[in-house]
Amino acid sequence: MTTSHQPQDRCKAVWLIFFVLGLGTLLPWNFFMTATMYFRNRLEMSQNVSSDTPEPAKGIQASAAPAAPLAEQNYLSTLFNSVMTLCAMLPLLLFTCLNSFLHQRIPQFIRILGSLGAILLVFMITAILVKVQLDALSFFIITMIKIVLINSFGAILQGSLFGLAGLLPASYTTPIMSGQGLAGLFASVAMICAIASGSELSESAFGYFITACAVIILAIICYMGLSRLEFYRYYQQLKLEGLGDQETKLDLISKGEEPKTRKEESGVSASTPHPTPTSPSIKSILKNISVLAFSVCFIFTVTIGIFPAVTAEVKSSIAGTSAWKNYFIPVSCFLTFNLFDWLGRSLTAVFMWPGKDSRWLPSLVVARLVFVPLLLLCNVQPRRRLAVVFEHDAWYIIFMAAFAFSNGYLASLCMCFGPKKVTPAEAETAGAIMAFFLCLGLALGAVFSFLFRVIV
């Protein structure tokens, strides 16, 4: 297969499919996090109802009796965020690691379609349960099981997608990163619209879950159509040739003639023995991509360490009693972060600097540490140790925009360049390893978030 036979990505179809798959990877989980208020509110209501006496005849006496302490009534609601983080991060890290090692033994379509199907089923059940009454403990346990399942299958899906994109040109990792960034932006806009409409939490949550189901179905349809595209099949064939496959199936399809192998094209006899196919060595791949892998891990450690554990606790200094007080965090924190993160991720589609071997890239990654003190010195409340240096809302918004843009741009560069540091036969494994280090950064960031919050 020569470069003269290389097909074009007509109408950017493959690019758009990877964008939808990236959107389908994170939009369900973003909507799940956006519905956190719904989950906590339902737990509080369930616990309060269960604490009331069920006998109507004793209603007057019960209402006169002192209520149970609020801390006891709402203990499951109080635990929700901490347990959710634990149930999300541990499976995410574990299954991303397993995918890095086992992806060669499980067919790609089983990993991707199986994961999408499982996540779709979980969200259909979640939407149904919005209309079903459950006691607090049962609802809490079922919700945590769903979180474990979503992140387990999400880890396999994400690792498989980055591995799949690693087979294509570097720019085809960008639509996955951009789609994931748009997922966060979509969820932030949905949150603001829900506040503005004044709709019930259960109605908003039901809308989130149904929308997530629709996006997952769209992602399944797009993936099933991917193998029909000549551009995608071309790069799949390059991987097979890299592993010792002698036939060029794409030429058979497109030209109707017996294909030539690369050795025949270069004048080497086809009877020359071919090397025995060998599985890519994870150790050698990791050695080649180590700088980029640790860079993407460091990026997300810093980002998740500060956002949203610290940034969501900043209070407006100019809102007073105005409506801006209700919209300050949804707009200044979540919308600003997700908008500029998405812009940073998308920029790599047209501009990729510095290069994959440049020392500027890891230097810029380390330089993002400056955002830690800058954001800690904003008007985070309550605080015990540090003074407020940047009190005005404008400082906070500027820092958040730069913080988010650098996160999206640098992370996307690292994920694009990683698979290009190895041979085509090793690209899928390299992409899966990069996804593991991304998830490792998320997990480390969750740990450091407790430290950064205590420092304030």
Cβ count within 10 A of residue 58: 12
Among 51-55, 76-80, 305-309, 316-320, the range scoring the smallest mean pLDDT is: 51-55
pLDDT by residue (tens digit) across 214-239?
Answer: 999 999 999 999 988 988 888 888 76
Per residue in 278-295, is it b (16+ CB within 10 Å) or e — as a string? eebebeebbeebebbbbb
- The single-letter code of the amino acid at 371 is F
pLDDT bracket for residue 153 (50, 70, 90): very high
pLDDT in the model for residue 280: 62
Main-chain dihedrals φ then ψ at residue 380, nearest 5 degrees: -75, 130
For residues 324 and 254, what is the distance between their CA atoms, to the nearest angstrom?
Answer: 60
**Is-contact 192 332, C-beta < 8 A?**
no
Among 67-76, 139-148, 264-273, 303-312, the range scoring the smallest mean pLDDT is: 264-273
pLDDT higher than threshold 60 for residue 277: no
For residues 110 and 65, what is the distance between their CA atoms, to the nearest angstrom?
Answer: 58
Nearest alpha carbon to residue 449 among 330, 308, 312, 338: 308
List helix spans (H) across 5-107. 13-34, 36-51, 59-64, 70-73, 75-102
**Torsion-angle region of residue 181: left (phi > 0), alpha (psi -120 to 50) or beta?**
alpha
pLDDT higher than threshold 60 for residue 271: no
pLDDT higher than threshold 50 for residue 159: yes
What mean pLDDT do residues 198-218 have? 89
Structure tokens at 132: 């079903």
pLDDT bracket for residue 312 (50, 70, 90): confident
What mean pLDDT do residues 367-380 have? 95
Can you count the helices (H) and strands (E) in the chain?
19, 0
pLDDT in the model for residue 141: 92
pLDDT bracket for residue 75 (50, 70, 90): confident
pLDDT bracket for residue 432 (50, 70, 90): confident
pLDDT in the model for residue 44: 81
What mean pLDDT do residues 32-56 have? 70
Residues with Cβ within 8 Å of 239's Cβ and at least 6 positions away in sequence, in order, are 167, 424, 425, 427, 428
For residues 21 and 116, what is the distance between their CA atoms, to the nearest angstrom?
Answer: 10
pLDDT higher than threshold 60 for residue 260: no
What mean pLDDT do residues 374-391 have? 92
pLDDT in the model for residue 294: 96
Rg (CA), the chain: 25
Could you tell me what percent of the chain has a pLDDT over 70?
Answer: 83
Among 52-56, 191-195, 302-306, 337-341, the range scoring the smallest mean pLDDT is: 52-56
pLDDT higher than threshold 80 for residue 291: yes
Write down the pTM of the prediction: 0.79
- The single-letter code of the amino acid at 307 is F
Altogether, the residues listed in the chain come to a count of: 456
pLDDT in the model for residue 5: 66
- The single-letter code of the amino acid at 66 is P
pLDDT in the model for residue 106: 85
More confident residue, 268 or 122: 122
pLDDT bracket for residue 321 (50, 70, 90): low
Residues with Cβ within 8 Å of 128's Cβ and at least 6 positions away in sequence, in order, are none
pLDDT in the model for residue 176: 92
Question: Residue 17: enclosing H or E segment and its boundaries?
Answer: helix 13-34
In terms of average pLDDT, the best of 50-54, 273-277, 375-379 is 375-379
Residues with Cβ within 8 Å of 273's Cβ and at least 6 positions away in sequence, in order, are none
pLDDT in the model for residue 22: 93
Helix (H/G/I), strand (E/B), else coil: 425: helix
pLDDT in the model for residue 276: 46
More confident residue, 211 or 1: 211
pLDDT higher than threshold 70 for residue 296: yes
pLDDT higher than threshold 60 for residue 61: no
pLDDT higher than threshold 60 for residue 1: no
pLDDT in the model for residue 378: 95
pLDDT by residue (tens digit) across 83-141?
Answer: 887 888 889 889 988 887 777 788 888 999 999 999 999 999 999 999 888 888 899 99
Q: Which residue carries 């980002």 as its tokens?
A: 303
pLDDT in the model for residue 112: 92
